[in-house]
Amino acid sequence: MSEQKNPATAANAQTANVKKQHQSHKKSSKSKLQVSLKTPKGTKDWADKDMVIREAIFSTLSSIFKRHGGVTIDTPVFELREILAGKYGEDSKLIYNLEDQGGELTSLRYDLTVPFARFVAMNNIEKIKRYHIAKVYRRDQPAMTKGRMREFYQCDFDIAGNYDPMVPDSECLSILVEGLTKLGIHDFKIKLNHRKILDGIFQIAGVKDEDVRKISSAVDKLDKSPWEVVRKEITVEKNQTEETADKIGEYVKLNGTLEEVYDILSKDESISSNEKAKQGLEEIAILISYVKAFGIERFISFDLSLARGLDYYTGLIYEAVTSASAPPKDAAELKEKAKKNVKKGETADEEDVSAYVGVGSIVAGGRYDNLVNMFSEASGKKSAQIPCVGVSFGVERIFSLVKQRQELAANIRSTSTQVFIMAFGGGKDWNGYLPERMQIAKKLWNAGIETEYLYKAKANPRKQFDAAEKSGCPLAVILGKEEYLQGKLRVKRLGPEFAHDDGEVIPIDDVVKVVSEKLSQVHEDGVDEIQKLLQGLR
């Protein structure tokens, strides 16, 4: 026979259980509040002036992309893992893999190039000029002050389709130069190489086809490490002979203008007798005339040490570097010092490597002729070969260079406000003219003029001027109690130099016209502070 429970006892037990659950929930709630208020490693919040500068960089680049016929697309921030697998060589270890969600294995995108190739293959596109501005993700060691992050924006422009050799390639190089010069960066160099020439050199040196990509990744480190270190990696870690390494060394140390290096290679019998290298050299000959036509040859250095470790490149490869790109000369010593400090507990941010790395390349790109077809074939689609070439701007790295123009950056305002509407008056019947200020604001907003007013019915004059000063806007529209009743407003310039200027009294109906005229006079030569910053103007 089962035991009969006392109803009162059961009720008490239930009440006790509810209390216990409530206390447990309170403890759980408290524990949830105990979080570290920081962004994840390699990321940062963007706000105020930094956002204004970054948005201006986006706007500058996107206007250039549109000028060259680009149409914009957007793709998911994560892709099927199989789409990204095997496309990035040794850098594949930097891909962020996501948890299994309902049977699909996905990863955060590493760049915008592979998703673009998937998009072209999936939609059977034969020709397109596209640009894409979006975030990408890499589990790299961050150097925050150098713009090397785990979450960052890329601004890409790519041309897909069959065209005459080197025509789209030269236009991508022109876009690279246009983009950097429009952002006030002039002291840069485009390091350029050709994957076919590089692969030919490896064949000449005796590298087996299956080892070409890993040797290419080793050579790609020459911008950070001396030849002796790279040679050791080729022979010891990559199992190549010393003769092979020395033969590679003879070539990868060559650099100069396009014509200078072309002349040297065209006279080299080993190069001319290698089918791959010969094809690459023929394309360089065509490219020389095109970059001259665009007037950009002075920016280009033909550098055989450039390898670009990504597996999908098939032809021309290039990257733009500045004096800030390379690591400090004493990088090895700084790295050891940082490690010792970490052991001693002397540094709070041992995860950041800014002290001993450079900014790296600020723009990069190249030709990838097989990627679209690879996706099409893998999916069982019948597709013609769709060659592609593109260029990618690293926004955070460019931002770190622009931000170094500290004197100009200090003048940037975090708001775009151009006009602050104020109301002055007094007496028992004074209501603050708040609806009237709203009406004037609406007129200016409809005219596309950035306008603000204080969210207070009866606003103190001093507080209104303080708010206007905080926003940094150059102009005030003032509703005086008596003047407004007569159908008039006062328009006044703001700033210390205009403290004793009472402004101009105008009819209310003329407010848009007069404000527009005065704003056109505010910026010297029509150039505002953000444009001065981007262009490096004093």
Provide the sign of the torsion angle of the four alpha carbons 278, 279, 283, 286, taken in this order.
positive
Is 313 flagged in the annotation as binding? yes
Helix (H, G, I), strand (E, B) or coil at 300: strand
Alpha carbon distance 24, 21 (integer Å): 5
DSSP state of 44: -
DSSP state letters, 473-510:
-SEEEEEEHHHHHTTEEEEEE-SGGGTT---EEEEGGG
Is 290 flagged in the annotation as binding? no
Is 303 flagged in the annotation as binding? no
* Buried-exposed string 12-44: b where 16+ CB fall within 10 A, e elsewhere: eeeeeeeeeeeeeeeeeeeeeeeeeeeeeebbe
Alpha carbon distance 47, 32 (integer Å): 27
Is 490 flagged in the annotation as binding? no
85 Cβ partners below 8 Å, 6+ apart?
92
Are 506 and 489 in contact, with CB atoms under 8 Å apart?
Answer: yes
DSSP state of 104: B
Is 287 flagged in the annotation as binding? no
Alpha carbon distance 497, 109 (integer Å): 51
Task: Characterize the bridge pairing of strands 189-194 and 300-303.
Answer: parallel
498 Cβ partners below 8 Å, 6+ apart?
492
Is 454 flagged in the annotation as binding? no
Alpha carbon distance 464, 445 (integer Å): 19
| Cα of 210 vs its chain's centroid, Å | 34
Six-digit token pair at 511? Answer: 């407010």
Is 113 flagged in the annotation as binding? yes
| Cα of 363 vs its chain's centroid, Å | 10
Binding site feature residues? 111-113, 138, 154, 158, 308, 312-313
Binding site feature residues for L-histidine? 111-113, 138, 154, 158, 308, 312-313
